[in-house]
Amino acid sequence: MVGIIMGSLSDRKVMQEAADMLTTLGVAWEMDIVSAHRTPEKMVEYAKTARDRGLRVIIAGAGGAAHLPGMVASLTTLPVIGVPVKSSNSIDGWDSVLSILQMPAGVPVATMALDGARNAGILAAQIIGSADERVSQKLTQFKEELKEKVAEMSRQLTIAPAARP
């Protein structure tokens, strides 16, 4: 249901967080290496056949020049979520962030924070959950668990002795 693609195997550690989040939320996914620069034909084929293969959202992670999310978005009408990846050839990740963020009018890419694949997985699930009640319920449960974690942290803070000058 969600395609997770990245430009290089070195991006996998970051992009696995999207896959793990989707698994937690009960959303099917596939993962592949699709380089905009080194395998452009594969990228075109992947993007153009995505809907027919049952995909509903594409998460594309890329470092450096980070053209993959935008190029994929130019080839499909599916929502594309871009994950800028801080890679060995990036300028502290800013080149990747700006390459994905500054898309021209008409070719939107939802841009996550640097290495923000976990949030990409959540956003993809929310897109799918807008029409799938089962996924929507899992998201509601996930959000409740987040609230409970914050409430527990608040309790721990209250119990801890206050530092006073």
pLDDT digits (tens, 9 = 90+) for 73-83: 999 999 999 99
11 belongs to an annotated ligand binding site: yes
pTM: 0.92
Taking the mean position of all CA atoms in its chain, how far away is CA 76? 17
The yes/no answer on whether domain 2-159 falls in CATH 3.40.50.670 is no
Taking the mean position of all CA atoms in its chain, how far away is CA 159? 37
92 belongs to an annotated ligand binding site: no
Task: Please report, for the chain, the start and end positions of each structural domain, with discontinuous segments joined by +.
Answer: 2-159
- Residue identified by tokens 């998460």 is 59
pLDDT confidence of residue 90? 78
Least confident of 53-62, 81-90, 109-118: 81-90
95 belongs to an annotated ligand binding site: no
pLDDT digits (tens, 9 = 90+) for 136-155: 999 999 999 999 999 999 98
